[in-house]
Each structure stands twice: as C-alpha cells, then as structure tokens.
Structure 1
Amino acid sequence: MAEDVGFDSQVAAKMVEELRSGFRKGRTAEYEWRVTQLKGLVRMIDERETEIVDALDKDLKKPKMESFLHEISLVRSSCLMALKKLKQWMKPEKVPSLLAAHPSSSYIVSEPLGIVLVISAWNYPFLLSLEPVVGAIAAGNAVVLKPSEIAPAVSSLFANILPKYVDNSSIKVVEGGVAETTALLEQKWDKILYTGNSRVGRIVMTAAAKHLTPVVLELGGKSPVVVDSNSDLKVAANRIAVGKWGCNNGQACIAPDYIITTKSSAPLLVDAFKFSLEKFYGKDPQESKDLSRIVNSNHFARLTRLLDDDKVSDKVVHGGQRDEKQLFIAPTLLLDIPLDSLVMNEEIFGPLLPIITVEKIEESLDIINDRAKPLSAYLFTKDKKLEENFIKNISAGGILVNDTTLQVASPHLPFGGVGESGMGAYHGKFSFDTFSHKKAVMSRGFGGDLPARYPPYTPQKQKLLRGLLSGSILALISAIIGWPRIE
C-alpha cells in the first residue's frame, strides 16, 4: 500500500484502525500466517534481486556486490533463520514454580504486541527496512513500514512489489516524508522501531510517550577504533578500510568514525592505509565501481564543512578529492586531529577518517569514555590484558576485537545501541523477542491448598510461610516440626 497522496492523520488513523481490527481476529498470530509471509519475502528477494540492486544503485550508487553482501543476503538469511526456528521461538518456555504454589506449572508465552511501526533509514534502505519487518512478522504482528524518502527508488520499490508477496491487509508500506511520518507518529502503536539520527530519535520518543508506546531506537554516534602498536598494521588497515569505505563509503552507523593509535604507530598505519586503499579502489578512486557516492547534496555539503574546518583542513594526509556534481568524496585520512574540531564532535557518516595520536594506548579509554556511548567500538591488539580492559571499561552497543562491522552480520548477537546510540536491540531471535510480549502464566488445580496462607495468621502459620517463601526445604521442615529457625 503506497499512501503518497493525501496521507494525513485521518487517513493514518483509519489505516491503523483497520490493522487493529484485523489483528484482533487473531490471523497474524497463527503460525501458518507467519510462515506464509516469511516465505513470501524470500520469494520476493529471489525473484526481484535485479530490481532491488538497481534501486540501490539509483539511490546510493551502491556496488552490486555490496548490495548483495550487506543488504539482500542478510535479509534473506534472517527470513530463513526465522522459518527454521519459528516453532521453537513460539513454544512456551517452562520455568520453575513456587513451592508455595505447589502443585502448579509456570511458563512464559511469547505473544504478539499488536500493531507496530518500522521507520527505516536511507543508508541501508533494504536491510534496515525489512530485517525489523521480518522480526515483527515472525512475532505475529501487523506492521507498517515507512521507508526513508531519502532513498526514493527503494521506497517506491517496496510500495510497488511488497503487496504482491505478503498479506497487504496486515503488512503495509507508507511512502512520504516529514508530513507522512508525523501523521503516523500521531497514532497509537504497540511498538515503534526507528533507525536514524538522535535528533529525530527524540522526536519519535516524544510522540510515542503520549501513548506510552515502547520504542526501539537504532541511532549511531562516533564508533572508535583503537589500534595498538603491537597489531599487525597491514591486516588492521585492510579490515578498517573495508569496514569504513566498503560500507557505503562510510555512510553506515557502525562504520569506524575515528582511530586512536600511538604516535609511533601512526605513520606506519597511514602507509598501510594508503597501500590498502590503492589496492581496493585504484589510484583514482573516483573511477572505482566499488565505492558508493554521497547520498545527496545536503550530505555532501555537510561533509565538506567538516573537511574545510580550519582545525583540520591542513591535516589531510591522504585523499581529500571531491566532485560535487558526482557527489564524490575520496577516502580521506586526517592525522593528529584536535579533539575540539568539528569532525571530532559530529558523527561523520562519510569517507573522512580522523586519526588521534596518544603516547600510551591506555589513554584511548579516557578519550572514548569522555564522549557519548557509541554504537560500536573496535580494538586491534595482541595484548589480552588490554582486550579484557577494553571490553570491561568501554560501554558500547557492541564491541569487535581485531576486525570491524562483522558483529552486525551475526544473527546470534543482539544489534542495538546504549545511551545516545540507542535503546533496544534486534537481529535473529532478538528481533522476535523485541516484537513480542513475554506473558507470565501460572496454572494451578483446585487441590493442595495451604491453610497457612489464609487469616488468621498465627505464629505457627508465619513460620510455615517463611519456610515456604525462603525456598529452603530445611527452613520448611523446621517450621513444620518446630525446630529452631535455621539461618
């Protein structure tokens, strides 16, 4: 369903009412419905891969291999994992019952939340739209997807093809910009998942608060990379480079945002980067077909402003070339950047990579902890003690040691932020849990009633109840036969 004409609060309210009415009939909660929708998504990916790649190329000039590896394959894998595990995920989880409630059984039921809204981002418009939708469907919800208007080709593709593969009465697409998003946010949802920046994240959270709607916010921040002097700098440069410029030319929330290394290692690391970048993208990276472009002129101007800041304009040690007509900025290294520069106080979300130098690598922890908590933090080292210290003392959405970005590809790890970088998490089973309510259930028969739970509360009853509630068999026996209380 594409609501690109006249979509206002009234239209949104009517759509939500219809979705809620359908949800209450229980159709989306059925296992067969969930499986049918997930299979439909797999079929859509298999049949429409060329169209998906073309749309990503139109919006971002995204290389075909990057589109497949970082978006299409990950969504398909999420669908297949959900199909394989869904019966297990839906099965009630048995838990121990209270001794005081014996005989009884206790378990946790994962039930659908209801009507959920997914507002996705432009930088990975296919992945960041459909992976949350996979979780919402697997959990049995009706869902509305609002793709980013900054990636109009992918947004239009969703509106045109998604209804052909899934149940359009319970899974809808709403296209548009600020007005349409505002109309959606005025409605009462059972959960909202938003991917984007912290400014809009605050708007989403404020709107959700009016209805006490829980939110998942996948934001971003400045993801640091600490490179110890004992690292294999050539390997580190390769892995940082592919995580930075091989992820949408740096336009990724988990992309390395800045590097901290020792003064002695910095020149060697710069040389290693130069070698890696020429190997990956050639002597003229603008001619490379493996490097994405900046998404639009606004973001190009924003990145140019960071690069032209007086505090960093003379710090370029590699790259710096730009072409506004082609929305191209070359992979750029900035060395010895002041901490109070613009590029160190804004999320870069582009191909600029500042390098901070310190005397001792341990100083990096204070630099990171003096800033907002990042979505990802990376460490390159052979020192196990430093690794343990880093993991223990750095608060981030996720940490990866001796590589970059791969942690997000694992369906067995939660993906989410902390503090300014977001709240909540998804991926794999975590997606199912995010869009489920964990309902506590206890069931008893009519026998086995304990007189001690009813008034009047005599001293003997109190002793018996203390023994029951303590969970200690010895305390219970003591209460029953009158032994001294056992601590």
Structure 2
Amino acid sequence: MEKVVEHIKPVSVGKVESVFKLQKEAFHNNPYPDLRQRLESLHKLEQLILENQESIAQAISEDFGNRAIQETKIAEIYGCIEEIRHACKRLKGWMKPQKRHISLLLRGAKNRVLPQPKGVIAIIVPWNYPLLLSVGPLVSALSAGNRCMIKMAASSRSLSTLLHYLFRQYFPEDLVSILPEVTAVEFTAQPYDHLLFTGSSRVGQVVMRRAADHLTPVTLELGGKSPVIVCEDFDINIAAKRILSSKFFNAGQTCVAPDYLLIPEDRLVSFWESAKRLVSKWYPSLHSKDYTSIINEEAFNRLEAYLQDAREKGAKVQPLLEVKNNRRLQKIVPTLVFNPTEDMNLLREEIFGPILPVLTYKKLSDAMGYINHRDRPLALYIFSNSEDLQDNIVKNTMSGGVCINDCAMHVSQADLPFGGIGASGMGQYHAYEGFLEFSKLRPIFKQAKKSAAGALQPPYGQRFDKIFRFLLRFKL
C-alpha cells in the first residue's frame, strides 16, 4: 500500500501568531455563532472523517509502523462520529440560556445564565489516539461556538500532514487550523482563550506554566497509573478477557489502559492460565497485523528497560507468548509481571505498553488502601457482581472515571464527561460537560421596571429594619 504522505505536498511550519491573529479577528467579527453555523461545522467534520476514513487509518498505521486498522476504526473513527452525532442532536438544548432563581428582595427582576464562546481554543494532541484526541475536544469547542488551533504530536507526522491538507479543504483557516511540525514553544506562546493538553504529567506542568503567562485557563488530560481491582465474587475468566483485551489494545499505549492489577491471592494461578489461553488466541505471532507496534525506538527501549529492571529486582516476568520482543517490528510481547515491588519502574511510572504488573491482596481494604496512598489515577476498574462492594470501592477511592466489570468503556460513552483529577489532570470534555468547559457561563441579571431594592436605599431608618427582619424570617 502506498504511503499517504507521498501524495501530499509537504507543508512549511506556519507562523502560529499569524493564524492566532486571523482566528481572533474572525471571532471578534462573529462572537456568537448561531445554531445553524455550529451544526454546519459539526456536519463538515463528520463528512471529513467519513469520506477519508481509509486514508486516516492508513496514515495512523504508518506513524506507528503498524497499527491495527480495526483498532483505529472502532476507537477513533467510530468514537469521533458518535461524539459528533451526539452533540448535533443535543446542541440546541445546550445553547439555551438557563433560568435562575431570583432573590426575594428583587422579585420581578430576572436571572439567566448564557453559555457564550470563549474565543480561540488551543488543542495539543498526543500520538497514541491522534484522531480521537484532536476531534473529541474539537467537537466540544465547535459546539460551544469557538475557533480552534490544533498542534499534533511530532510522532504523528503522516496523520498531521494528511489532516492539515484535509482541514484546509473543509474548513476556513480562521475557524479550524491544523499546524503540523510546529514546536510546542512556538505554539504555547499565544494568549489563547482556553488551552487543552493531553499527554504526560511532566509536560503538562510545563504547558500549565506557559499558559499562566497569559492567565489562559487550561484543561489537562494526563493519565497516570489506572488500577484494576478484581473481587472474589467475579468470574476470573471473564475478568481476564476484559482486562487483557483493554490492556493490549493499541499495545497498551492508552492513557486509560489498566496499569496494574490487584487480585485475591487464591485467584492468581487461574488468572495466569486464562491469560495464556487468551493471548495465544488473539495474537498467534508478533507478525500479526492485529497487534500494534510500539510508536518508536525510544519507547521500545524504555519498555525493555522496565522489564530488565523488574527482573534484576526479583520480579517474575512472564511473557504470554513463547517469542521474544521484536526490535525490527518494534513489538513488545504481551507480558505479566508477578511480585513487583515499589522500587521497580513498572510501579513508579506510567507503563504505556503491553506490560501488566500483578499484585495480590488478602483483604479488599488493603487493595483500596494501596490505591489511596498513590496519586489519583485517570481511571479505576472494579470487577465485582456485588453492588454493595462496587459502591463501597467507588465511595472510598477517587479517580477521574470509573468502569465497573470492564475497562476503558466509560471513555467511549458520548454522554459521559472525560477528565482526570489531581496528578491525572483537571477539567473535562465530551458531552454537555465539554460544551460547558469551552463556554463562558455568563450570568445576566435584568432589573424589573420597578425595583424593590429602592426601599433599602438611604436614608436608613425603621423601614429598613422592618424589611430586613422580614427577609431573615422568610423561608424559600
């Protein structure tokens, strides 16, 4: 198959400042796009993806070395289309001003909250789900009536070049602009009206400091070590299938991938046996196109170093296929790591690869305590048939999101917000909450023709005291 980028004219690094000024001026000329204009933008976005889905999937695969086309289609193509259609169906209701209660003192006046566009939104996209993590925030931003500038990851060169070309065909540059090969320093220098960054906590801190120079509000989607708790009452074979299919999807290069497993001691052997059966069935060989490559050599080396570190410190490293990691294909064998310890990199850093540390526990409270003594994760996964147990774990832990009896599925729900907390991020997008994230909820008070507040103006006296006592006694 011919490479996508060979048929696309290379683009130069544009001047970010000039695009920003162009979009800012366009926003000043049309600060409140109506429903028709917003829906038109969303429909164009849907059209762009549907008409070019094969080229998009191919470009993403090129950037990875090999990325299962089916994984791109279900996780990114379908995920984007579902979110666009969800927004289109509900946007009219989202845009309506909200009526608010009026103070007793000002009866006859009116309160409302109007969601207004913020202006120019900056979106910084990672390489692991480059379409979903650019289009997802874009849907929220366009729904809210904004204009958007998007910086793609350096590792997404093929897709970045393709999207730059496609967006210029479907959208004016003063509405949406994809800026390929631009540096993060250049991109983050502008005084945006809101900035969304998806990536590592370390880089997120840098981005937030840069945004602070302009007092730009930020949304950070960072990741972290998302734990899985398997309870005694849940079928271990079903749990293994759901946990590992999520873990090895995209070769574990997913911000909400299970990062470590907490399992009862007496279920460990059963889980291991089930894992071997499943993985040998899913991926008979590392040459399988269904198994995605690690994004680059640097990431491959980092994962191999994690495994070597674990071996040297006494962990039991168990590959789930009887082959070795393949440097030429940039593929790491799906691997479980038993008996990991706190000094190992696998438990200290986000893994972002097809490696799953497995820890055992005796009491459920021990498992929850282990989670609670670490940074708050982006996701928490609970496997139990007991609603009491589910409720107990949810209410006594904290994470960005929760998925019960499966993994990562909460992210694909178009009507659920997505976001982290603490070290895993701040703010959220998707659904109505995404519309709100990129809107200024502007409170508007409208006084009545005759204001009751006039009775409280100077000169103060007995009338003031009487009215004030009445206000304090009155119960809403």
Q: Same fold (TM over 0.5)?
A: yes
Q: Distance in 2 between matches of 1:253 and 1:455?
A: 61
Contact 2:19 2:173 in 1 (8 A): no
The residue number in structure 2 matching 1:5 is 12
Match 2:74 to one of 65, 69, 72: 69
Which secondary structure state, in structure 2, belongs to the residue aligned with residue 85 of structure 1? helix
Alignment of 1:308-387 (within 5 A): 308-309=308-309, 310-311=312-313, 314-316=316-318, 318-319=320-321, 321-387=324-390
Q: Distance in 1 between matches of 2:142 and 2:281?
A: 42
Q: Distance in 1 between matches of 2:214 and 2:463?
A: 48
Match 2:101 to one of 91, 96, 101: 96
Compute the displacement of 1:155 (Å).
0.8
Q: Distance in 2 between matches of 1:27 and 1:358?
A: 56
The residue number in structure 2 matching 1:250 is 252
Q: Distance in 2 between matches of 1:28 and 1:441?
A: 16
Compute the displacement of 1:42 (Å).
1.0
Give every structure 1 segment of 4 or more consecutive aligned residues whose post-TM-superposition deviation is greater than 6 Å: none
Aligned AA (2:36): E
Q: Distance in 2 between matches of 1:347 and 1:52?
A: 28
The residue number in structure 2 matching 1:477 is none
Alignment of 1:222-233 (within 5 A): 222-233=225-236
The residue number in structure 1 matching 2:88 is 83
Compute the displacement of 1:4 (Å).
5.2
The residue number in structure 2 matching 1:33 is 37
Q: Distance in 2 between matches of 1:318 and 1:82?
A: 41
Aligned AA (1:336): N
Match 1:123 to one of 122, 128, 136: 128
TM-score w.r.t. the length of structure 2 is: 0.94
The residue number in structure 2 matching 1:169 is 174
Aligned AA (2:257): A
Alignment of 1:273-284 (within 5 A): 273-282=275-284, 284=285
Contact 2:10 2:161 in 1 (8 A): no
The residue number in structure 1 matching 2:4 is none
Q: Distance in 2 between matches of 1:30 and 1:139?
A: 10
Structure 1, residues 115-162: CA drift from partner, whole Å, max 9, x if none?
110001100000001110111111111110111111111111111111
Structure 1 portions without partners, runs of 5+: 474-487
Structure 1, residues 194-235: CA drift from partner, whole Å, max 9, x if none?
000011100110011111110000000000001112210011
Aligned residues: 465
Which secondary structure state, in structure 2, belongs to the residue aligned with residue 333 of structure 1? strand
Match 1:147 to one of 139, 152, 160: 152
Pair 457,165 (structure 1): closer, same or farther in 2 beyond 3 Å: same
Pair 449,19 (structure 1): closer, same or farther in 2 beyond 3 Å: same
Compute the displacement of 1:264 (Å).
1.1
Q: Distance in 2 between matches of 1:450 and 1:308?
A: 74
Contact 1:365 1:394 in 2 (8 A): yes
Compute the displacement of 1:37 (Å).
1.2
Aligned AA (2:375): A
Structure 1, residues 70-89: CA drift from partner, whole Å, max 9, x if none?
00011111111121111111
Aligned AA (1:300): F
Which secondary structure state, in structure 2, belongs to the residue aligned with residue 158 of structure 1? helix
Match 1:234 to one of 237, 247, 250: 237
Aligned AA (2:289): K
Which secondary structure state, in structure 2, belongs to the residue aligned with residue 322 of structure 1? coil
Contact 1:99 1:469 in 2 (8 A): no
Q: Distance in 2 between matches of 1:332 and 1:41?
A: 39
The residue number in structure 2 matching 1:23 is 27
Aligned AA (1:228): C
The residue number in structure 1 matching 2:268 is 266
Q: Distance in 1 between matches of 2:418 and 2:471?
A: 41
Pair 358,469 (structure 1): closer, same or farther in 2 beyond 3 Å: same
Q: Distance in 2 between matches of 1:314 and 1:451?
A: 78
Contact 2:13 2:181 in 1 (8 A): no
Q: Distance in 1 between matches of 2:472 and 2:149?
A: 46
Structure 1, residues 241-297: CA drift from partner, whole Å, max 9, x if none?
111112x11000000001011211111111111122122223x3x032211110000
The residue number in structure 1 matching 2:5 is none
Q: Distance in 2 between matches of 1:467 and 1:210?
A: 49
The residue number in structure 1 matching 2:448 is 445
Pair 119,450 (structure 1): closer, same or farther in 2 beyond 3 Å: closer
Aligned AA (1:47): E
Structure 2 portions without partners, runs of 5+: 1-8
The Cα RMSD (Å) is 1.9
Structure 1, residues 142-184: CA drift from partner, whole Å, max 9, x if none?
110111111111111111111111232221111115xx22112
Pair 102,3 (structure 1): closer, same or farther in 2 beyond 3 Å: farther
Pair 273,88 (structure 1): closer, same or farther in 2 beyond 3 Å: same
Contact 1:228 1:361 in 2 (8 A): yes
Structure 1, residues 50-71: CA drift from partner, whole Å, max 9, x if none?
1011112111222122111100
Match 2:142 to one of 114, 131, 137: 137
Compute the displacement of 1:190 (Å).
0.4
Aligned AA (2:271): L
Structure 1, residues 445-477: CA drift from partner, whole Å, max 9, x if none?
32243443201222441341343366527xxxx
Pair 208,466 (structure 1): closer, same or farther in 2 beyond 3 Å: farther
Q: Distance in 2 between matches of 1:221 and 1:305?
A: 19
The residue number in structure 2 matching 1:485 is none
Contact 2:148 2:177 in 1 (8 A): yes
Match 1:157 to one of 156, 159, 162: 162
Q: Distance in 2 between matches of 1:12 and 1:133?
A: 18
Q: Distance in 2 between matches of 1:349 and 1:436?
A: 32
Is residue 293 of structure 1 aligned with residue 293 of structure 2?
A: yes
Contact 1:307 1:313 in 2 (8 A): no
The residue number in structure 1 matching 2:6 is none
Task: State the identity as a percent.
Answer: 33
